[in-house]
Amino acid sequence: EAGVAQSPRYKIIEKRQSVAFWCNPISGHATLYWYQQILGQGPKLLIQFQNNGVVDDSQLPKDRFSAERLKGVDSTLKIQPAKLEDSAVYLCASSLDRPDTYGYTFGSGTRLTVV
Amino acid sequence: GQQVMQIPQYQHVQEGEDFTTYCNSSTTLSNIQWYKQRPGGHPVFLIQLVKSGEVKKQKRLTFQFGEAKKNSSLHITATQTTDVGTYFCAGQRIGTYKYIFGTGTRLKVLA
């Protein structure tokens, strides 16, 4: 089966600019996640969708980050305006209804550098 | 809030030596998962442990879940260069589907 697709692979922007990331999960996976992984740290959950509804966005900096999942399939994560500390890899993951059997399937990620 | 710590942060071993990483949660977990992330890659699911005291093996990898379900370990026997990467545990908070990733242990294997 095809994996989780993400684009772009890399992005360099200046601080205060905006950026958007795209994710296409594995077909049939109802749950989609966006994680932020800062260099040398473990992934941190930003937002979780169940179909097209938000389940958990408690750690999403809502003053600058937004995410949506249209029609319960693809998702976009946006940062506006970006700060230097947003430099990280943004990982999209999907799972069958619950990840506690087969775990998360992660995409290759988007490496964001804010200069 | 819940924290999941891993030790050591880094480990360099000679090829053929054993390696162990430890994962400790500040709270009791429903279950724990382990992931491997190759340099420049993304985390890949390895295994899940559910029961108190559970031990599972995958070839040279042995995973253990503590009796109190607050800690776990991953042991690799006779490391190979293909074992290089960062190993993360991810603990599921009781009553939620949310997993908290650990801080990771980066393994380097010297040939």
Nearest of B80, B72, B85 to residue B111 by alpha carbon: B80
Model pLDDT for residues A66-99, shown as the tens digit of each residue: 999 988 899 999 999 999 999 999 999 998 877 6
Tell me which chain A residue has its CA closest to the CA of residue B92.
A100
Tell me which chain B residue has its CA closest to the CA of residue A58.
B98
One-letter amino acid for residue A107 of the chain: G
pLDDT at B2: 67
Cβ atoms of B17 and A69 within 8 Å: the answer is: no
- All domains in chain A, ordered by first residue: 5-114 (2.60.40.10)
**Which of A37, A56, A58, A97 best tests the B interface by mutation, with the highest count of B CBs <10 A?**
A37
Q: How many folded domains does chain B comprise?
A: 1
Model pLDDT for residues B56-82, shown as the tens digit of each residue: 999 999 999 999 999 999 999 999 999
Model pLDDT for residues B25-42, shown as the tens digit of each residue: 999 999 999 999 999 999
The C-alpha atoms of residue A64 and residue A40 are separated, in whole angstroms, by 23
> Can you tell me which residue has the tokens 């966006």?
A34
> Nearest Cβ partner of B42 from A98, A103, A107?
A107
Phi, psi of A32 (to 5 degrees): -130, 140
Could you list the residue range(s) of the whole structural domain that residue B57 is in? 4-110
Q: How many Cβ atoms sit within 10 Å of the Cβ of residue A112?
A: 20
